[in-house]
Amino acid sequence: MTTIQDVAMRAGCAISTVSRVLNGSPHTTEATRVRVMAAVDELGYRVNTIGRSLKTQKTGAFGVLIPSITNPVFASSLGGIEEAARTAGYDIIVTTSNYDPGRDGEAVEALLARGVEGVLLTVTDPATGRVADRLAARHVPHVLLYNQPIDPAVAAVTVDNRRATADLTGEVIARGHTDIGYVSGVFGSSDRARIRYAGYCDRMREAGLKPQAAVEVPFVGQDRDFVAAVARFLNAPTRPTALLCSNDLLAIRIMAAARTLGLRVPEDLSVAGFDGIDIGRMVEPSLATILQPAADMGRQAVQFLFALMRGEREPATLIMPHTFRPGRSLAAARGGTIAGALRAAPAPALNRKTIP
């Protein structure tokens, strides 16, 4: 490996001079600058990031913890994160928890050991994990993504999950449904699932309807087990006319399972999701859902993290806007009326706001 030492020798100057030239220090002659750069080119020298990091205590990298890479909503946000990081000259170190609450902690420890300058994280549960606390104790800047922070002192970028699901539930009710079920990933693996369920309950009660118990299904299991679990539920005589799912991937799997069971969506069962993944627009029937701007949330989280690193900003929760995306998976209830749909007040648009 060619080092700064070699360059100095070749250029006939001191190591410190080379370093100055390389870092664009003003105290340097054009002549030496040219000589040094020539030596750099001839030797094919490239600065060693490790040596630099050791001295400067900066690694130029931050960590990202997400539950899963294969869920398109996290893939999208990761895409936004990667882009924003690259633009700023930062590298990202990606790690996953696979929805396992225990792995949140070790994953963050591993990131810390690597010397990341900050961490972006979507934890399984901010209430029980206390991962953010450990980061705070170590003074490592961090931003929660998708999670709703327990402690307002923790920075976060999310949508108003509760309100959004309430809005979505309102859309379903407006289409004449009264028997509306809720299917969810395991509550212990996702605070979003819990919060969204609460939003569903809010709106149901508001409409004078009885919220149903959430059906928790294992999110990462085998397909066969999944279909079996769903079948037990959908074949029951008490099957609802509409089903809210805690996320789009789940909704799409449910639709596929329903088809397997001989149910037609939306004629026999309306389905709605949450996330707004692209694929939801391409499936048949297209999936009604709440759209959250995943890639943009990732980008925003990165900007937020940088601000925190520079000490420019106090931690705050950034609530991103959500929108209802209609889809053919959600139809009027049998016997429901267009008039009923028109009577229902449309959900007011939520604008981005910062809660200090």
What DSSP state is assigned to residue 188? G
Residue 14 binds which of DNA, its own copies, none (CB < 5-8 A, kind-dependent): DNA
Positions in 41-80 near DNA (CB under 7 A): 45, 47-48, 50-52, 54-57
94 sits near its own copies (criterion: CB under 8 A): yes
Task: Report residue 85 CA to chain centroid gap.
Answer: 15
Which member of 3, 19, 53, 303 binds its own copies (CB under 8 A)? 53
What is the Cα–Cα distance from 312 to 303, expressed in whole angstroms? Answer: 11
114 sits near its own copies (criterion: CB under 8 A): yes
Q: How far apart are the first and last CA of the chain?
A: 49
Which member of 17, 76, 122, 317 binds its own copies (CB under 8 A)? 76
Positions in 125-154 near DNA (CB under 7 A): none
88 sits near its own copies (criterion: CB under 8 A): no
307 sits near its own copies (criterion: CB under 8 A): no
Which member of 205, 210, 232, 281 binds its own copies (CB under 8 A)? 281
Calculate the alpha carbon distances from 282 to 87, 101, 248, 276, 288 in Å.
31, 32, 12, 11, 11
Q: Answer yes or no: are the C-beta atoms of 159 and 144 closer than 8 Å.
A: no
Of the pair 3, 286, the CB lying nearest DNA is at 3
- Taking phi over 0 as left and psi of -120 to 50 as alpha, with beta for the rest, 79 belongs to alpha
Tell me the longest C-alpha to C-alpha distance in the chain.
89
Residue 23 binds which of DNA, its own copies, none (CB < 5-8 A, kind-dependent): DNA
Lookup result for tokens 């799912």: 245
Q: What is the dihedral of CA 313, 314, 317, 318, to 10 degrees?
A: -20
Of the pair 71, 169, the CB lying nearest its own copies is at 71
Q: Contacts with its own copies: how many residues (CB under 8 A)? A: 47
Which member of 9, 15, 127, 256 binds DNA (CB under 7 A)? 15
Q: Which one of 25-33, 163-171, 265-273, 314-322 is the stretch in contact with DNA (CB under 7 A)?
A: 25-33
Residue 210 binds which of its own copies, DNA, none (CB < 5-8 A, kind-dependent): none
Which residues have C-beta within 8 Å of that of residue 269, sequence separation ≥ 6?
234, 239, 240, 241, 242, 243, 258, 263
CB of 9 to DNA, least distance (A): 11
Contacts with DNA, residue ranges (CB under 7 A): 1, 3-5, 12-17, 19-20, 22-23, 26-29, 31-32, 45, 47-48, 50-52, 54-57
